[in-house]
Amino acid sequence: MNIESNLYPDSAPQRGNSLWAQARRRLVRNKLAVFGLAFLAALVLLACFAPWLTPYSYEQQNLALGATPPSLEHWLGTDIHGRDLFTRLLYGSRVSLSVGIAATSVSLLIGGSWGAIAGYLGGRVDQY
């Protein structure tokens, strides 16, 4: 008779949750985080599909319009040069997202390299 089989006779082997499953469960429970993620995803999608979502060019001017209030034709109105503000907002978000991704990539490259060097060498490199 095997001693280990008698220690826990009623329990079946349990499968542990992965770190990704735990993180997903915590994210879904946090309603504010889900809202923020959905908002960020919508912003990224709007920025990516900006050329197809707006009928105007971001640099197109119509000086005859001037500064007009929001309407069905111009959702956020126009500026003093007659440029559609919704179009300029979408194209501006593309630039902002590009700058954010570039800055994050550079910091990831520098931090990852520095961490790899510190992990390999240790000692004095860890102190900086």
Domain boundaries, the chain: 49-127
Q: In the prediction, which pLDDT does 6 show?
A: 61
Q: In the prediction, which pLDDT does 96 show?
A: 96
Q: In the prediction, which pLDDT does 120 show?
A: 87
CA nearest to 64, candidates 81, 79, 45: 81
Helix pair angle (85-121, 31-48), 10° resolution: 110
Q: In the prediction, which pLDDT does 66 show?
A: 87
Q: In the prediction, which pLDDT does 14 show?
A: 65
Q: In the prediction, which pLDDT does 8 show?
A: 60
CA nearest to 78, candidates 65, 93, 91, 89: 65
| Residue stretches of the chain with pLDDT short of 50 | none
Identify the H or E element spanning 111.
Answer: helix 85-121
At 103 the three-state DSSP class reads: helix
Tokens of 103: 């800055």
Q: In the prediction, which pLDDT does 12 show?
A: 62
